[in-house]
Structure 1
Amino acid sequence: MTHRITVTGRAGGTPGTGRRVRVLAPAAALALGSALLTACGGSSDSGGSTTVTVGSNGNIFDMPLKLADSAGYFRKQGLKVKFVTTTASTGTSALQSGSVQFLNNSPTGFTSALAKKVPEVAIAVSGLGNPLGLVVSKKFAAAHKLAAETPAAQVAQALAGSKGGVSSANTKAEAGLFLKANGVDPGKVKWVTLPSASADKAALSSGQIDWFITSEPIPLQVQNQGDGIVVVDPKKAPMWAAAQAGYGEVVVATKSYLSGHASAAKKFVAAVQEANNYLATHQGDPMVMDVARKVQQGVPDEVLKSSVALVEWPASGSMDAAGWTKTLAFVNSLGALPDGAKVTSENWTNKYLPAGGQS
Structure 2
Amino acid sequence: MLGFSTEESVIAAIHALLEEHDDPSVPLPSTRKLGQLLGFSHVTVSKALRQMGDEGELWRNENGRYYPKSARLLFDAPKPVTCFFRSISAWASWYSRLVQGIGLACEEANRGLLMLPASSLIQQDASDAVPQVLGVEEQCQLLESLLLRTQDEPGRLILDDLWDDRALAAYADQLAGARVLLRACPVPGIGSVAPDFAQGALLALSHLLAQGYERVVVVRPFSGKVIDAMVEAFEEAVEGVNLDAAHFTIIDGDQGCDTAQVVARLCSAKGRTGVYCAEENFAVALYQGLTAAGVDIPGKIGLLAGWGTGEAARLGLSSLKIDLQHLGMLAVSLENPALHPFRPVTNFTLHRGISS
Structure with more helix by fraction: 1
Same fold at TM > 0.5: no
Q: Larger relative CO (CA 8 A, sep 6+): 1 or 2?
A: 1
Task: Compute the TM-score of the two structures, normalised by the length of structure 2.
Answer: 0.37
Task: Compute the TM-score of the two structures, normalised by the length of structure 1.
Answer: 0.37
Q: Mark the structure with the bigger radius of gyration.
A: 2
